Amino acid sequence: MPKTLADWLDFIERQHPKSIDMGLARVREVSSRMGLKRPAKRVITVGGTNGKGSTVAFVESIARAHGWKVGSYTSPHLLHYNERVRIDGVDADDAALVAGFEAVHVARGDTPLTYFEYGTLCALWLFSRSKLDLAVLEVGLGGRLDAVNIVDADAAIITTVDLDHQDWLGDDIEAIGFEKAGIARPFKPLILGDDDPPASVLRHAYAIGAQSWRIANDFFAEPIDADTWRWREVGFSMTLPMPALAAPVQLRNAACAIAALRSLKARIDKRVYAEGVANARIAGRLQRFEQGGVEVLVDVGHNPQAARALATWLRKQPARRTLAVYAALVDKDAVGVVGALESVVDAWHIAGLADAGPRGQGVDDFAQRLAGTAAADAARHAYVVAALDAAIAQAAPGERVLVFGSFHTAAAALQRLAGNG
């Protein structure tokens, strides 16, 4: 049996012939053998195409400011696997994760589990032993057949629904919406961050009697000025500080987090909401660094919807010039991403992700996919770090570099900037 966390991660990556195997039967079976109970007194599950991690961060920050002991499970990680499992604001240490993986391994017998399923059961095992007031679970892929969906949530959040992971979730918004709606539970709150969600989401909520709370319909996020905004619903409102997390979309994420907590009838003071919103942090979401007078922004955005949100933010924060460093996995809509950003990017650097596993690609293959786009003549680099260094060298003081395209891209940039940011 593996001994260290690194050994375990290598081991579990090789335990299933597929990286993704949709379905709950195997996970439920192993969970039953482990004797897993509810991971916390209350559970909030967060799904959606974009904004899941940020929304988890807002829920966690507000709940901890209220005095609750909170466990959060997110994916993927940026720099260290430990980031995925947090208890009371602290990443799980190696020893705890090793113990969790051992418990999963002993219980599974000859039942095959994917890397994500191993991790989910490990997190739930740790949470169930931690006497939590709240567990916040981020969906890995879709929702209906995702491993976290073995837990019945007291409230579910669907941040947004857009095209991504079509090979697994379906080719259109309605099919994807149906998969994401699967995290809702009968007669429980379902928080919707789309003001016009897919009909499939609303139909499913109606069919099971879920209580839909829709942004811009049942609750509202309204900017007041550069420093404050208003969250309101019928009969209640509060003025809050702008989130430290940049970008207008973070108001939607914060608003959904607040709606979910209020839907649980938690008696949380307005001051606590303000503190939680102001203090929420998560790496790789328009994370800012300064390099010799050049602003460097690192973001995990990797699909057209995320790219459109980045473009909106960049237009509102003009710079002399914006240089993009873009590296993406092979199954992403790179053409759509470039199209969303072409009006706000002045120069492109692209990089390969050949070391990112089976979904990675070299820079020449990536360049072929971008033929005919605004990035067709981009400077090519084998690795993200080389592209980042070149873009910073090309930029003048007062200009900015945007690094984005995947968690792998953001992680490489953060490692490079950690000693110099």
Would you give the distance in Å from CA 157 to the centre of its chain?
Answer: 13
pLDDT given at position 245:
86
Answer for the pair 365, 357: CB distance below 8 angstroms, yes or no.
no
Structural domains of the chain, with CATH? 5-279 (3.40.1190.10), 287-417 (3.90.190.20)
Burial class (CB in 10 A: 0-12, 13-18, 19+), 20: middle
pLDDT given at position 421:
40
Q: How far apart are CA 185 and CA 43, in angstroms?
A: 12
pLDDT given at position 190:
99
Would you give the distance in Å from CA 101 to the centre of its chain?
Answer: 23
Q: At what angle do helices 270-279 and 52-65 cross, to 10 degrees?
A: 130
pLDDT digits 0-9 by tens, 49-85? 999 999 999 999 999 999 999 999 999 999 999 999 9
Answer for the pair 223, 229: CB distance below 8 angstroms, yes or no.
yes
Burial profile 96-131: b = 16 or more Cβ within 10 angstroms, e = fewer: bbbbbbbbbbebbeeeebbbbbbbbbbbbbbbbbbe
Cα Rg of the chain, angstroms: 21
Would you give the distance in Å from CA 398 to the centre of its chain?
Answer: 30
Closest among 353, 416, 359 to 383, alpha carbons compared:
353
- The letter for the amino acid at 196 is D
DSSP symbol at 325: E
Long-range contacts of 182-185 (CB under 8 A, 24+ apart): 182/142, 182/143, 182/144, 182/145, 182/149, 183/45, 183/47, 183/139, 183/143, 183/144, 183/146, 183/148, 183/149, 183/153, 183/156, 183/158, 184/156, 184/208, 184/210, 185/152, 185/153, 185/154, 185/156, 185/210
Residue numbers of the chain with a pLDDT score lower than 50: 420-421
pLDDT given at position 419:
65
